[in-house]
Chains A and B, each alone.
Chain A
Amino acid sequence: AQRVTQPEKLLSVFKGAPVELKCNYSYSGSPELFWYVQYSRQRLQLLLRHISRESIKGFTADLNKGETSFHLKKPFAQEEDSAMYYCALGRNSGNTPLVFGKGTRLSVIA
């Protein structure tokens, strides 16, 4: 079965400090991984996907199949990064729904 684990419910960091939001997944096949973000009073939206290998708003995430992880990182946190972050897992074949983790609330303190 597919499963996503985000071990931290809340992560607080100071502005300018590095950020790492952890995500581990369980899936025996070839995974597709995503990070979605929900800012205060906004709807859930895609932040980045592993297949794109891009940096969005300074965030990057590398898929580590050996450790079954897809941690989200940013070298210098900004106050506007404060939000709920959800890691999501899909399969690369078939019409399968995304499985979401429970989310981590990032709070960046000025």
Chain B
Amino acid sequence: GAGVSQSPRYKVAKRGQDVALRCDPISGHVSLFWYQQALGQGPEFLTYFQNEAQLDKSGLPSDRFFAERPEGSVSTLKIQRTQQEDSAVYLCASSLVVGSNTGELFFGEGSRLTVL
């Protein structure tokens, strides 16, 4: 595809349900990032992959959050036992280069999660 693709675009979950959010980065992009954006806030870092290796997961808010990128391409962010405070837009971004400091981050449209 031409850009970073995320699915689903919208997800409504009942509190306590598990959800899985998918990110399909631009082909060949080494780096993949997940960010969480609450209403009225800027994107907050969750986790970073370099190919299939998860190099930084310091931003994951709790052990209910889990991310993987098993083949170094598609990534899934899983949230177990969702809580209302998990309601946010989850953004995925990819970059051709290692890290994010010099290369441009290409963002997906985001997955908007609403937990009732």
**A residues engaging B (CB < 8 A)?**
4, 6, 9, 32, 36, 43-46, 49, 51, 86, 90-103
Contacts and interface: CB of A to CB of B under 8 A. Distances in A.
A5 to B, nearest CB: 11
B102 A94 contact: no
Contact of A95 (B40, B50, B59, B106): B50
Interface stretch (B19-27, B41-49, B63-71, B79-87): B41-49
A94 B35 CA distance: 19
Interface of B: 3-4, 31, 33, 35, 40-45, 48, 50, 55-56, 59, 91, 93, 98-102, 104-110
Contacts of A96: 56, 99-101
B91 A98 contact: no
Contacts of B93: 44
A96 B56 CA distance: 8
A50 to B, nearest CB: 11
Given A95-B48, A97-B56, A98-B105, A90 B100 contact: yes
Given A96-B99, A103-B42, A46 B104 contact: yes
Given A32-B101, A44-B91, A46-B104, A97 B33 contact: yes
Q: Of B93, B99, B101, which is in contact with the most chain A CB atoms at under 10 Å from its CB?
A: B101
Given A43-B109, A97-B33, A102 B40 contact: yes
Judged by DSSP, the binding face of B is loop
Contacts of A97: 33, 45, 48, 56, 59, 100
Given A32-B102, A95-B50, A96-B100, A102 B41 contact: yes
Contact of B56 (A32, A43, A95, A101): A95
A90 B101 CA distance: 5
Contacts of A103: 41-42
B44 A100 contact: yes
Nearest to A84: B42
